[in-house]
Amino acid sequence: MTYRERLEHAWTSSGSLLCVGIDPDAARLPDPLRGAEQPFLAFGKAIADSTAPYCAAFKPQFAHFAGQGRTDELRALCQYIREAHPDRLLVLDAKRGDIGSTAAFYAREAFEIHAADAVTVNPYMGGDTLEPFTRDPAHGVFVLCKTSNPGSDEFQNLRLDGGRLLFEEVARRAATGWNGNANVGLVVGATYPGEIESVRALAPDLPLLVPGIGAQGGDLKATLRAGLDARGTGVLINASRSIIHAGSKDDFGARAADAARALNEQINALRP
Amino acid sequence: MTYRERLEHAWTSSGSLLCVGIDPDAARLPDPLRGAEQPFLAFGKAIADSTAPYCAAFKPQFAHFAGQGRTDELRALCQYIREAHPDRLLVLDAKRGDIGSTAAFYAREAFEIHAADAVTVNPYMGGDTLEPFTRDPAHGVFVLCKTSNPGSDEFQNLRLDGGRLLFEEVARRAATGWNGNANVGLVVGATYPGEIESVRALAPDLPLLVPGIGAQGGDLKATLRAGLDARGTGVLINASRSIIHAGSKDDFGARAADAARALNEQINALRP
């Protein structure tokens, strides 16, 4: 199956556009997992198993594991998700980017070591640095375009000679230059629905990964109106903290499932 | 000691501007290390010990370890360098960048898990995403500005409304907006000496980390003419493959030392 087929299958088989972000924080682990031997792995597995009925994708966030000395648990979690939830897309959120010979090692990290379907990447170094991630049609990327953080205007909204904004130029090149294997998507923050509209106009067929719903306060209705493609699909709406920290006691899995189900219903009610 | 003091001490105590990039590749390990239990660690230690007399800094490259399943050896190597070569600057080359709450975990990864003095970071997401890396004056960053790869023109050389190029705007903001703790530097490729000159004009006092000498074919003389600061220092000239793969037999350490010594002499002969 190509990456694009895997993504389409994830959407259709789940009936969902939701992506559950798995961003564990030792300071916020549920009570029953404190003191466990591999608490990040146990937490990630419980979140994945609980929320799988309501989502199309999982997105483990690299820094949360690496910054807390838990990369081995990330690897084990990715392998678990791959086996236990084979119909869900697995996106490694690592925002990689480096010169070609080094990018090839980052691609191995994402697609071989972590067995991810896709990885988030940064476009600043240029399209040649993305090619090692896109040369195999079985895997894909989501390229940072307009990110959800308050300071994303600083560079992404700079106006270029000619009139386009920088993030629009990224969207244009992604849609026209980098997508020969139909495996390029874009990251656009739900905190900027106006910019999502511009991106969708420049890249009508590219999948959009949309963080910023939930803890970051993005606008779901405006996001979907701007981001859905002509078929009423084409987006992955990511939520992390609002789902994974919905509960902190023994029932944290059931609480996460409730939060994922509720958000998924909200999303689907807004689809055409 | 602040980061800036550590960097100055690394330059003055070594009498060198050389940075040795440690980018191990299983396919190119020296013969005596093939089949060793922790070959990347053994390789990195041997390279560091052999080249330390001729360099100011070491720069282990994250992807080479992570993409080959060797992050534990990277961590051990960083700890070793920290202890065995305390006067050398330790730069983790990982090109991180993410929203603030996640960037804080990347900062922990670089500065606590790997005990690095500095980490390379990507500016595309904006200055607010760099703040978690710069808030502690004991650690620093090198921000990607004009990178050494062939395709770096694609975005970095886009002309902005107003006339400046994108990489120049990154340099300007680094020098004027982000450097309150005197711990911000810039990455500029030796393959583009004209651009280094522009960067140095916009950021007269910022340390420059310069990859692209050696395997990538950058011009050392033009790089130094453009990049040295008013004191005849202020740059770290990185070489990786041309040093670490100088030999492949039992004498690989001695060959690496020869290559580092020769490049260091070339550099110092070009300083005022």
pLDDT confidence of residue A264: 98
Total number of domains constituting chain B: 1
Chain B residues inside the 8 Å CB shell of A71? 66, 71
- Please report which confidence band the pLDDT of residue A221 belongs to, taking 50, 70 and 90 as the band edges: very high
Name the 3-class secondary structure at B158.
coil
Across the interface, do A173 and B153 touch by the CB < 8 Å criterion?
Answer: no
Across the interface, do A147 and B99 touch by the CB < 8 Å criterion?
Answer: yes
Nearest to A127 among B69, B144, B151 (CB): B151
CB A45 within 8 A of CB A74: no
Nearest to B66 among A61, A109, A125 (CB): A109
Whether residue B186 lies within 8 A of chain A, CB to CB, comes out as: no
pLDDT confidence of residue B216: 79
Rounded to whole angstroms, what are the CA distances from B35 to B38, B39, B216?
9, 7, 29
Summarize the confidence of residues A67-90 as an average pLDDT. 97
* Burial of A166 from C-beta contacts in 10 A (0-12 / 13-18 / 19+): buried
Q: Which amino acid is at B232?
A: G
A182: left (phi over 0), alpha (psi -120 to 50) or beta: left
- Please report which confidence band the pLDDT of residue A126 belongs to, taking 50, 70 and 90 as the band edges: very high
* Whether the predicted pLDDT of A215 surpasses 80: no
Domain that holds residue A41: 3-269
Give the pLDDT confidence of A173-207 residue by residue, as tens digits. Answer: 999 999 999 999 999 999 999 999 999 999 999 99
pLDDT confidence of residue A35: 87
One digit per residue, the tens of pLDDT, for chain B of length 272 reads: 999 999 999 999 999 999 999 999 999 999 999 989 999 999 999 999 999 999 999 999 999 999 999 999 999 999 999 999 999 999 999 999 999 999 999 999 999 999 999 999 999 999 999 999 999 999 999 999 999 999 999 999 999 999 999 999 999 999 999 999 999 999 999 999 999 999 999 999 999 999 989 777 889 999 999 999 999 999 999 999 999 999 999 999 999 999 999 999 999 999 98
The reply to whether A95 belongs to the active site is yes
Whether residue B250 lies within 8 A of chain A, CB to CB, comes out as: no
Rounded Cα distance between A176 and A178, Å, is 6
The percent of residues in chain A predicted with pLDDT above 90, rounded, is 96
Say whether pTM exceeds 0.90: yes
The percent of residues in chain A predicted with pLDDT above 70, rounded, is 100
Across the interface, do A151 and B161 touch by the CB < 8 Å criterion?
Answer: no
CB B147 within 8 A of CB A125: yes
Output the domain CATH number for residue B68.
Answer: 3.20.20.70
pLDDT confidence of residue B11: 98
